[in-house]
């Protein structure tokens, strides 16, 4: 089957796109790796953008043959893993229908939001509580961010998945993130509490990652999935989605914000003195992708 190398609209502008090397029903998304700040928004906030990113998590999937979509801009511009109405009137008083959510992957959880809300589609404070937004944000400015940076990314994922459904009859999205070393698990597989993926597909992913027996792999704990997984996970229509969270201690020196090299071990933890090498983890990710591809193609 021929390779699909056609870039989706917006590639190289709102996001970076790597075409598939081998025909595959699977695509990979990295919505929080972006480190750029748009000129249109003026000066960047006085925070470390790397500390507010899933820094270099795409390096763990550098060798996959699937298509990859990677955010260019910081999540402080707009959070691609939040619904576009996940914003409070405190941030955007002129919004006609704001729906801030307690759970970004649950379309009904906006009813549960109590108190300050600053982790929606536009944050008013960076990690650590540092203010990043001169409040309030006018509604036209909010719409401009969504039009330039948010909607093109999601439209690209939609287009790529649709093309794969047309070719293979099925498609799958891996939405890849990282989590701070203060979180206990090594890897979290987020399924929107079982809504975004079939149980047999989830078990294939978990089994492949479990090949590194020392890893603590959990499902929906403590992250159940974000807006991307919720939007694109439609197993009944042949499209599955899985959010994968890698603990940064597995591949990153968080104090220096530098990738660990292949001779390094993970940073020490209370549970174990050492962890797998980054090279081992990359091989494990490749094995997961290959196993999922075979499963999808054999349906």
Q: Please list, in sequence order, all residues whose beta carbon lies within 8 angstroms of the beta carbon of residue 119, skipping any fewer than 6 positions away.
A: 79, 82, 104
Round to whole Å and give the CA distance between 83 and 120.
Answer: 8
In the chain, where the domains are located? 15-81+149-297
Retrieve residue 134's tokens.
Answer: 């001169």
Q: Per-residue confidence of the chain (299 residues) as pLDDT tens digits?
A: 889 999 999 999 999 999 999 999 999 999 999 999 999 999 999 999 999 999 999 999 999 999 999 999 999 999 999 999 999 888 999 999 999 988 888 877 776 665 555 589 999 889 888 888 877 899 999 999 999 999 999 999 999 999 999 999 999 999 999 999 999 999 999 999 999 999 999 999 999 998 887 899 999 999 999 999 999 999 999 999 999 999 999 999 999 999 998 765 544 444 444 678 889 999 999 999 999 999 999 98
The secondary structure element, H or E, covering residue 102 is: none
pLDDT at 268: 40
Give the pLDDT score at 289: 97
Enter the pTM of the model. Answer: 0.94
Give me the pLDDT at residue 30, please.
Answer: 98
pLDDT for position 210? 84
Whether the CB-CB separation of 218 and 187 falls below 8 Å is answered with yes
pLDDT of 261: 83
Q: Give the pairing type, strands 15-18 and 171-179.
A: unpaired
Instruction: Determine phi and psi for 162, rounding to 5 degrees.
Output: -60, -40
Which helix (H) or strand (E) covers residue 217, if one does?
A: strand 217-219
Fold of the domain spanning 15-81+149-297: Aminopeptidase (3.40.630)
CA dihedral 202, 34, 164, 166 (to 10 degrees): 130
- Give residue 262's pLDDT: 73
């Amino acid at each position: 089957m021929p390779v699909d190398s056609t870039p989706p609209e917006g590639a190289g502008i709102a996001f970076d796109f790597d075409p598939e090397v081998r025909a595959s029903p699977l695509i990979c998304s990295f919505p929080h790796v972006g480190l750029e700040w748009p000129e249109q928004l003026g000066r960047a906030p006085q925070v470390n953008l790397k500390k507010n990113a899933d820094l270099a998590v795409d390096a763990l999937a550098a060798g996959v043959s699937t298509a990859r979509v990677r955010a260019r801009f910081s999540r402080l511009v707009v959070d691609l893993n939040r619904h576009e109405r996940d914003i409070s009137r405190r941030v955007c008083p002129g919004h006609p229908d704001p729906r801030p959510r307690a759970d970004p992957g649950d379309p009904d959880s906006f009813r549960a939001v109590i108190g300050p809300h600053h982790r929606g589609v536009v944050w008013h404070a960076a990690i650590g509580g540092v203010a990043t937004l001169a409040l309030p944000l006018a509604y036209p400015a909010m719409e401009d961010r969504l039009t330039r940076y948010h909607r093109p990314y999601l439209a690209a994922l939609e287009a790529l998945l649709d093309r794969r459904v047309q070719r293979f009859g099925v498609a799958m999205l891996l939405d890849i993130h990282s989590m701070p070393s203060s979180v206990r698990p090594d890897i979290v597989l987020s399924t929107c509490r079982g809504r975004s993926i079939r149980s047999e597909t989830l078990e294939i992913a978990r089994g492949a990652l479990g090949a590194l027996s020392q890893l603590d792999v959990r499902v929906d704990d403590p992250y159940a999935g974000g807006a991307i997984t919720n939007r694109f996970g439609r197993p009944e229509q042949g499209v599955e989605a899985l959010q994968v969270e890698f603990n940064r201690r597995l591949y990153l020196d968080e104090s220096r914000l530098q990738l660990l090299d292949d001779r390094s071990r993970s940073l020490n933890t209370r549970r174990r003195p050492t962890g797998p090498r980054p090279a081992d983890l990359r091989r494990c990710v490749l094995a997961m992708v290959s196993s999922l591809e075979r499963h999808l193609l054999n349906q």
